[in-house]
Amino acid sequence: MKGAVTVESKRVLMTGNEAAAEAAIRAGCQCYFGYPITPQNELIAYMAKHMPAHGRVFIQAESELAAISMVFGASLAGARAMTSSSSPGISLKQEGISYLAGCQLPAVIINVQRGGPGLGNIDPAQGDYFQATKGGGHGDYHIIVLAPASVQEMHDMTFQAFDLADQYRIPVMILADGRVGQMMEPIRLQEGPAPIPPAKPWALTGAKGRAPQCIRSLFLEEGALEKHNLALQECYRRIAAADTKLEETHTADCEWLIAAWGTCGRIGKGAVQKARAQGIKAGLIRPLTLWPFPYERLARLGAQVKALLVVEMNCGQMLEDVRLAVNGATPVHFSGYPGGRVPTVSDVFNALTALVRQ
Amino acid sequence: MKTTKSGYRRPASLTKAPMHYCAGCGHSTAHKLLAEVLDELEISERTIGVAPVGCAVLAYFYLKCDIAEAAHGRTPAVATGIKRALPDRIVFSYQGDGDLAAIGLAETIHAANRGEQITVVFINNTVYGMTGGQMAPTTLVGQVTATSPSGRESATMGGPLRMCELLNTLDQPYYIERVALDSHAGVLATKKALRTAFQAQVEGRGYSFVEILSACPTYFHRSPLESLKFVGGEMAKQFPVRIFRKEGVALHA
Amino acid sequence: MHERILIAGSGGQGIVSLGKLLAGLAAETIPHVTFFPAYGAEVRGGTSNCQVILSANEIAAPIAEIFDSILVMNQQSAERFLKALDQDGLAIINQSLCNVPAPERHLLIPATEIADRLGSIKAANLVMLGAWLAHKPLIAPTAVENAIASHFHGAAPALATINIKAFRAGLARGG
């Protein structure tokens, strides 16, 4: 692997993009389809080099539309399949993601976010929260959204995403940013044999020994679509009950709560530590799953604290979910960085102390 | 399999569901020929088809093999994903002119250019049937449609795309043929072309493409019989019926 | 221990390679390490820079604004980045290609000239690393030399010798 330096105790220095790619290979990803875009190019290059070496499928597609459709094809044939891109490319993939959701097909999609709207810039950003968690494409659906804050999490979450996707027959998105993608950190790789995916009797593999099957998202028969959509909602309820994940820091006695995800969550933790050192009872909640969102836990913490501070590299997107969860019980403040600038620990600490002083 | 007094046999790979296609539409004939080829090559149990968005979106009701439904135009990309994941299966896409030559033109060209080991069945009837007879990329100059009410004017709407000719400029395709469902002979030629295309895939030869000129009496605004004459006449004049590529060699460059 | 390091220079001076080497070696003994290369538009126009943070504790902010150490290898980088040095920080300046007013505590070293005399100007980055390590002994010099030897192993053993000599020269000049 280019640029990787193996170190003792099995720690390997990798970029987040490479760590995600290597995780996919270790999770048994059989097919990868991608299209170049900054800042995720190391990922597609890693897959181009390593997938064929493992006897797996790599195609540089003609577009993001084609790449996600190839994922759709490989997935409906029963294979573990993945694509990756960055914000403008993910917009194009929304068509395919809606079809994957409608057809209940597993897939892993990595979004190494950059600035937007439009071409924006190539700096780290968190502007795709709404798109990722509220559907993104047309129709009434959700996908699982995981938010890594470090290279280790980029690796571990990508690995875990394949199992989640297969378990619930749902697309799973890793919502990273350019920072996490480009950064190198020493990580421990997922070891051991690749997980064995569950049986996929629904897959289209040819109708030998069984009746022909069809995978479709078109339901023209009377009442069929309603029934289908209600079944999807039932699946979403099961996921929310079993797989809502979050990280908490100093929340047991906190009076001031920072809520942040991904890179901002990591910086928020630094701000909490700085505040604690100065006697301010600060805490942090960092959702690891953005969908399903930890509404219940936030509601309870909201009732406990004096105020919340949401920090995001956007103009206030997770902010809306936090406000929904807290439901007016506590003031929810916001600190946003929408242009590609990454806040410093001091920025977040200063925003927090301004609240405390109020 | 039942044989009627007239000798008509329903292919095993065709379901008994009554087809929703209009009277005189070429899709039903094309489906039947496709089913016969799957039967004759004994591949229906290892075949996965990809249906388009368009009139043939419901092909899975009629063909007795595994079938997936793609987003509009992404059909060859979906077929690519399936074939790469399961290289020993037979994979085909079945597409109309809007799906294949308009919204899915990039997917069509790139799948052909990569030489994907799939079979593409292209039904060219020069109009969008499912949405109500709008102009297609293959609509003839002067042809009246819902979105070219005064006839297609090439200066502002472009001319009909000739897909076989276009794909024949690429290096990778193995087999490219255009046929016409305009007559008894045309039906037999279509069956032969489909059989050649699927046989090529069975033998792992490469990408195969069959364009079928087909009637849409409803949006030709003609009787079924007049529509067949239009297919064999004006359409075939614009879209010459011939083999373009055989065993990887261009016959008509 | 929490050391924020910035390395900057022009494309071709081995800025990113040096950062990766430092991060990789540090990861063997230091619990928390991040390496962040400037990417995209920032690296166009011939400049290159990267950051390495080494810490005993979890690194909250993987990009710093103020640095404990800054290694600059060309004029443009010196002008742009030296102002981000912590008031108690250490600057290592490639005197061969930088002409900046430097307070006494800054370390001026003709890295490119030293490397050139040793046989390859491309080894200037290791002169810089040596000088830095003389002041901040966070990595064992033998580990650096072993890494250089294994990096050039096979393909260019002569280059390994030049680079090790360059590293040692930096170490001597820095100390």
Domain ranges of chain B: 26-250
Q: Which residues of A touch C (CB under 8 A)?
A: 3, 5, 7-8, 11, 13, 38-39, 121-123, 178-179, 182-186, 263, 266-267, 269-271, 273, 342, 344-345
Q: In the predicted model, is pLDDT for residue B148 greater than 60? A: yes
* pLDDT confidence of residue C38: 84
Does A294 have pLDDT greater than 50? yes
Q: Distances from the Cα of A2 to the Cαs of A22, A96, A117, C47, C143, in angstroms?
A: 12, 31, 32, 22, 21
Under 8 Å CB-to-CB from B84, ≥6 apart: which residues?
Answer: A31, A57, A59, A70, A73, A74, B116
Whole-angstrom distance, CA of residue A228 vs CA of residue A206:
24
Say if A210 falls within a structural domain.
no
Task: Taking residues C32-53, report their average pLDDT.
Answer: 80
Q: Residue A339 above 90 pLDDT? A: no
B12 reaches A (C-beta below 8 A): no
Q: What is the mean pLDDT of residues B145-149?
A: 96
Mean pLDDT value across residues A299-305: 96
Place of tokens 């064999």: B232
pLDDT of residue A189: 97
Q: CA-to-CA distance for A192 and A21, rounded, in angstroms?
A: 17
> What is the number of structural domains in chain C?
1
Amino acid (1-letter code) at residue A217: S
Considering only CB atoms, A65 lies closest to which of B66, B74, B85, namely B74
The verdict on A264 and A121 lying in the same domain is no
My answer on whether A106 and A134 are in the same domain is yes
pLDDT for A3 equals 42
What pLDDT was estimated at residue A8?
Answer: 42
My answer on whether A254 and A190 are in the same domain is no
B71 close to A (CB below 8 A): yes
Is A201 part of any domain?
no
Neighbours of chain B (3+ CB pairs under 8 A): A
Cα distance between residue B156 and residue A242, in whole Å: 57
- Residue of chain A minimizing CA distance to C143: A7
Size of interface A-B (CB pairs under 8 A): 134
CA angle, A161 then A166 then A172, to 5°: 40
ipTM summary value: 0.95
Q: Assess contact for A30 and A74: CB atoms under 8 A.
A: yes
pLDDT per residue over B79-90, tens digit each? 999 999 999 999
Span A328-350, average pLDDT: 94
- What lies within 8 Å, CB to CB, of C62 at 6+ separation is A179, A183, A185, A263, A266, C34, C36, C53
The mean pLDDT of B88-113, rounded to a whole number, is 98
In a domain, A333, yes or no: yes
Mutation site, A30, A56, A57, A72, interface B, largest B CB count within 10 A: A72
pLDDT, one tens digit per residue, over B11-23 is 999 999 999 999 9
B26-250 CATH fold: Rossmann fold (3.40.50)
Q: How many CA atoms lie within 13 A of B251 on its CB side?
A: 13
CA B157/CA B142 separation, integer angstroms: 10
Which of chain A's residues have a Cβ under 8 Å away from the Cβ of C62?
179, 183, 185, 263, 266
| Percent above pLDDT 70 for chain B | 97
- Spatial CA neighbour of A74 closest among A144, A162, A157: A162
Contacts of C121 (CB under 8 A, 6+ apart): C112, C115
pLDDT in tens, A74-100: 999 999 999 999 999 999 999 999 999
Angle formed at CA A339 by CA A334 and CA A344, multiple of 5 degrees: 60
Each residue of A207-266: pLDDT tens digit?
999 999 999 999 999 999 999 999 999 999 999 999 999 999 999 999 999 999 999 999
**Residues A268 and A236 reside in one and the same domain:** no
Q: Among all residues of chain A, which has the CA nearest to that of C34?
A: A185
d(C-alpha A232, C-alpha A143), whole Å:
11
Q: Tokens in use for A344?
A: 């410093």
Q: Please count the CA atoms within 13 angstroms of the CA of C5 that sit on its side-chain side.
A: 26
Model pLDDT, residue C40: 59
In contact, B130 and B57? CB cutoff 8 Å: yes
Last residue of a domain, one of A179, A214, A240: A240
Predicted confidence at residue C44, as pLDDT, reads 54
Q: Which residues of chain B from 133 to 152 reach within 8 Å of chain A, CB to CB? A: none
Q: Cβ(B27)–Cβ(B99) under 8 Å? A: no
pLDDT at position B4 is 59
Contact state of A61 with B110 under an 8 Å Cβ cutoff:
yes
The answer to whether chain B touches chain C by having 3 or more C-beta pairs less than 8 angstroms apart is no
| pLDDT value of position C45 | 56
Rounded to 5 degrees, what are φ and ψ at A347? -55, -50
Which carries the bigger pLDDT value, residue A8 or residue B192?
Answer: B192
| DSSP characters over A263-313 | HHHHHHHHHHHHHHHTT--EEEEEESEEES--HHHHHHHHHHSSEEEEEES
| pLDDT band, very low/low/confident/very high, at C63 (cuts 50, 70, 90) | confident
Predicted local confidence at residue C173, as pLDDT: 87
- Residues of B whose CB is below 8 A from A62: 106-107, 109-110
Q: What pLDDT, on a 0 to 100 scale, did the predictor assign at position C62?
A: 81
CATH number of domain containing C42: 3.40.920.10
> Which 8-state DSSP code applies to residue C163?
H
Using one digit for the tens of pLDDT, what is the confidence trace for B25-60? Answer: 999 999 999 999 999 999 999 999 999 999 998 899
Q: Which amino acid does the sequence have at A233?
A: Q
In DSSP terms, C116 is beta-bridged to none
* Closest CB from A123, A185, A270 relative to C60: A270
A179-200 average pLDDT score: 94
Domain C-terminal end among A186, A216, A240: A240
Same domain for A186 and A266, yes or no, is no
Residues of A in contact with B48 (CB under 8 A): 77, 204-206
Region of B183 on the Ramachandran plot (φ > 0 left; ψ -120 to 50 alpha; else beta): beta
> Which chain A residue has the Cα nearest residue C20?
A3
User: Tokens for B166?
Assistant: 């276009």
pLDDT band at A1 (very low <50, low <70, confident <90, very high): very low
From B84's Cα to the closest Cα of chain A, the distance in A is 7
Distance CA B89, CA B65 (A): 12
The answer to whether residues A172 and A308 belong to one domain is: no
Residue B47 near residue B121 (C-beta atoms within 8 A): no
Asked if pLDDT for residue C175 goes beyond 70, the answer is: no
For residue range C64-112, what is the model confidence (pLDDT) as tens digits? Answer: 889 999 999 999 999 999 999 999 999 999 999 999 887 777 899 999 9
Task: Answer yes or no: do A161 and A284 share one domain.
Answer: no
Which of left, alpha, beta for A327 (phi over 0: left; psi -120 to 50: alpha)? Answer: left
Three-state DSSP string of A58-100: EEECCCHHHHHHHHHHHHHCCCCEEEEECHHHHHHHHHHHHHH
Mean pLDDT across the stretch B50-73?
A: 94
C-beta of residue A309 within 8 angstroms of C-beta of residue A257? yes
Q: Which residues of A touch C60 (CB under 8 A)?
A: 266-267, 269-271, 273, 345
Cα–Cα dist C128/A191, whole Å: 37
- Min Cα separation C40/chain A (Å): 7
C-chain residues near A123 (CB < 8 A): 40
Contact C33 A122 (CB under 8 A): no
A91 and A125 housed in the same domain? yes
pLDDT value of position B16: 94
Q: Give the pLDDT band of residue C41 (cuts 50, 70, 90).
A: low
**Domain that includes residue C73, residue range:** 2-174
Write the Ramachandran bin of A187: left for phi over 0, alpha for psi from -120 to 50, otherwise beta: beta
- Residue C99 CB neighbour total at 10 angstroms: 11
Burial class (CB in 10 A: 0-12, 13-18, 19+), B53: buried
Asked if A324 and A274 sit in the same domain, the reply is: yes
Q: How far is CA A40 from the centre of its chain?
A: 14
Q: Does A307 lie in the same domain as A273?
A: yes
Q: CB-based contact (8 Å) between B74 and chain A?
A: yes
How many independent structural domains does chain A possess? 2
* Contacts with C25 from chain A: Cβ below 8 Å: 5
What's the pLDDT tens digit per position in C142-154? Answer: 999 999 998 888 7
- Where in the sequence is the domain holding A281, given as residue range(s)? 248-357
Residue C43 binned pLDDT confidence (cut-offs 50, 70, 90): low
Tell me which of A247 and A340 has the higher pLDDT: A247
